[in-house]
Amino acid sequence: MPATADRVERLLERVGRVLAPPAVPSRRFPPPRRGATLRKHDVAVIWLHWFNAVVWALELLTGGALIVTGRYHIAPAWFQELVVAVFGSRAHLLRFHVVVGVLWVAGMLPYAVFGFRRYVLGFFRNLRLDADDLVWLWRKARSLVSPSLPLPPQGAYNAGQKLFGWVVVAATLVIIATGFVTAFHLGPQWLVAWCVPLHFVAVAAVFAALFVHIYMAAFMPNERPAFFSMFTGRVDARYAYHHHAKWYHEVLDDCLAGRRTCDAPAPEGADADQTPRS
């Protein structure tokens, strides 16, 4: 079994190098002292994250109440009756669902138009999978039975977060396209009819990914600092050093080279009066 696992790992490394060679930090830095933090998200990213969270909560609640036929329904009957009663009628419920969806798209447009290079291209750059990521996924799965298995260094996002990002991006494009077609009856009837199940499948894919994402972020101790960074914009530097090493070294290298305005975290054992902030 170990020999087979090693062969699979070498194959993943070769495939990963075709996708993208793993990034190698130009300089390596010592671990930071306890209490040091690094800025990971700006206010615009935090706002978009929670804006998406609120929209998804509203759309899942209202959409679950709307999906009902003579043969099946997604949500329990009592839930559907309760939601419809809150809105007064299914027509009002559907109208609210569509309006929230349109506002969702409108809320993301400024990022796509005015922040294309920083947010869109930067986001996809962070989602690029390399050899380290494929090996990370393989070892992470094996760590369920071998907890001490070392994991390759990761960038701003680990490989699991990158896969979640790709699922959300692909499904979001389908959701937006099919949502507009079905809501406004764009195109021939056969297209509208096909867009309905495609919309459901894309939503189900995001819902499954969100379930794992929320569980990992809120309940897994190793991911807790990443969860709180979506409130403060900052992440514990020691957590970054151990779980996102490539990103940690990249940030410090940019700090010292003047490409990023920040103070590099003091190394472990440095004067505690120095307050590292970025």
Task: Give the start-to-end residue ranges of the domains of the chain.
Answer: 38-257
Exposure string of 21-48, with b = 16+ CB inside 10 Å and e = fewer, is ebeebeeebebbbeebbbbbbeeebbeb
Exposure string of 82-120, with b = 16+ CB inside 10 Å and e = fewer, is ebbeebeeeeebbebbbebbeebeeebeebeeebeeebe
pLDDT of residue 199: 95
pTM for the model stands at: 0.84
Q: Are 242 and 223 in contact (CB under 8 A)?
A: no
Q: Are 160 and 129 in contact (CB under 8 A)?
A: no
pLDDT of residue 85: 93
Structure tokens at 97: 């669902």
- Ordered mean pLDDT values, 10 residues apiece, the chain (278 residues): 70 71 75 88 92 94 83 78 91 95 94 89 90 88 76 90 92 95 93 94 90 78 82 91 91 82 62 42
Region 38-257: CATH code: 1.20.950.20
180-224 residue pLDDT tens: 999 999 999 999 999 999 999 999 999 888 888 887 777 777 778
pLDDT of residue 56: 93
Alpha helices in the chain, H assignment, sequence order: 2-19, 43-66, 77-87, 90-114, 122-126, 131-142, 159-184, 189-219, 224-232, 237-243, 245-257
pLDDT of residue 274: 40
pLDDT of residue 167: 92
